[in-house]
Amino acid sequence: MKKLIFSVMLAACAAFTANAQTLSFGVKGGLTISKLTQFDDAKVRPSIFAGGFANIAFNESMSLQPELLFSGQGTKYEPLNQKITYRLNYINIPVMFQYRIVPEFYLEAGPQVGFAVSGKTHAGKVTVDISDNTKAVDFGLGFGLGYQFPVGVGIAARYMFGLTNVFENSFENNKNSVAQIGMFYTFKHQHTSSKKRKR
């Protein structure tokens, strides 16, 4: 399943790039609200995400958007009135298929692969590194929507749900559950199609 998702991501990027009419780049960032599933009394942990993207437009309605993002994730919980925070940081590569209902508004969905860069727990003044106990690669699926203003600035919201158990050698099925809301800016696009545009 995981290999299939990754293969689909690569094949889709290659196919859309070969047939792209326009190619544009941009930056994005905002707030993440995350928690781990199947975690007793789990509470959300707010953090940030930031990175860049390429938008490969096939036509006026359909496009493919691969991204490279830093994402702060994890969860909070309070066993026996003690506050414990799991801070899990990832470099995520989502590949979102976008459909524009109108030029400004779009819906999106697609797979994501994430690479764990750090993992720590905090309980009071005690910090423990748990990087060795977390899986190096995390697979997920997501969906979202966005609105882009004519000047290139836009707002977007997305929900990503994990398909991989976060921890190594764990009997619990703890998976990432992450909501994102933020802003993006798209630079002026470039035409890549070999076909001449009509004047």
Residue 199 pLDDT level (bands cut at 50, 70, 90): very low
Residue 169 pLDDT level (bands cut at 50, 70, 90): confident
Whether 133 shows a pLDDT value over 50: the answer reads yes
Per residue in 44-86, pLDDT tens?
Answer: 999 999 999 999 988 889 999 999 999 999 999 887 778 899 9
Residue 198 pLDDT level (bands cut at 50, 70, 90): very low
Q: Is 141 exposed, middle or buried, given 0-12, 13-18 or 19+ CB atoms closer than 10 A? A: middle
Q: Give the C-alpha distances (Å, rounded to integers) separating 107 from 88, 98, 185.
A: 28, 6, 17
What is residue 79's predicted lDDT score, i.e. its pLDDT?
A: 78
Between strands 153-162 and 126-129, the pairing is: unpaired
What is residue 14's predicted lDDT score, i.e. its pLDDT?
A: 56
Residue 7 pLDDT level (bands cut at 50, 70, 90): low
Where in the chain are the domains? 2-186
CATH 2.40.160.20 for the 2-186 domain, yes or no: yes
What is residue 17's predicted lDDT score, i.e. its pLDDT?
A: 54
What is residue 18's predicted lDDT score, i.e. its pLDDT?
A: 53
Do 108 and 96 form a contact (C-beta atoms < 8 A)? Answer: yes
Considering the chain, what is the average pLDDT of its residues?
87
Q: Give the C-alpha distances (Å, rounded to integers) separating 103 from 54, 61, 100, 134, 146.
A: 17, 8, 6, 41, 11
Residue 8 pLDDT level (bands cut at 50, 70, 90): low
Whether 196 shows a pLDDT value over 50: the answer reads no
Do 96 and 142 form a contact (C-beta atoms < 8 A)? Answer: yes
Residue 194 pLDDT level (bands cut at 50, 70, 90): very low
